[in-house]
Structure 1
Amino acid sequence: MGESLKETIARSNELAYTCLEQIAQAGCDRDAVHALLKAYIGYKFLLADDEMGSEDIAALSKASVDKLLANHRKEALQDVSSVCAGASSASTKKVLLIMALQKGLGIRFDARASGAVKTIDDLAREVCARICDR
């Protein structure tokens, strides 16, 4: 019997937290931070390695939403909030990812930087800049 969506999310969150610890240790090593961010995004978005072919965070976010709805439609829709009228699930997921990353690492992007993040490489650049500036 496979694990429930709740169990999958809990396990993925634990793995994502481990990535955050490793990102903090990698600090200014942009290549290492990039690889760890890619793994972090995979865990947070519940995407397998073979589903992480894109560097575009919005595309990965959409793939995550599509996968969630295809595989867990009934469970997934129980937690959908209606307070963000007009925002797509994929764009909301991207914003939440960036917020969780900032909180987990104890860093802060300004609004311009947050809006400019489109790819994993953009995110790695911003994360490294904030970690190295401490």
Structure 2
Amino acid sequence: MAVSYFIYVTDKENTDFNLEKFNNDIKQRFPKVGISVKDDEDCRYNICWEDYEDEYEFELWMLKDRSVFMINYFNSKNRLYDYAEFIKWLRSYFPYEKEVLLCDEGYSKTIVLSEVVEIEDILEILE
């Protein structure tokens, strides 16, 4: 299984990403999440959300231009199903009129995350 998965807008135009709303929502959904921001110009992924509690563990990064989420790590008791739900939830922060893909780090498994994508479709990529 791939270590990292990417959720990204294919046209790289994501200027309307609402970081403040996302930060509030992720804190509400995962109250113990930690958020760190890197100011280093050479750092492509400059925001990290980490949560290592009993129910969920994850490390999520975002590209500076806000067009890509990179999930480096995800774990839970019902790992694959919860992971697929997490991916679907993350997808909701990109406009549905834009093409958004999910792929593994080797680009060997890819799916378009449209409005109608189901958890089962995402599970096929994760398995």
Query: Which of the five TM-score ranges fits, normalised by the shorter chain?
Result: 0.3 to 0.5
Higher helix share: 1
TM-score w.r.t. length of structure 1: 0.32
For the pair shown, the structure with the greater C-alpha radius of gyration is 1
TM-score w.r.t. length of structure 2: 0.33
Higher strand share: 2
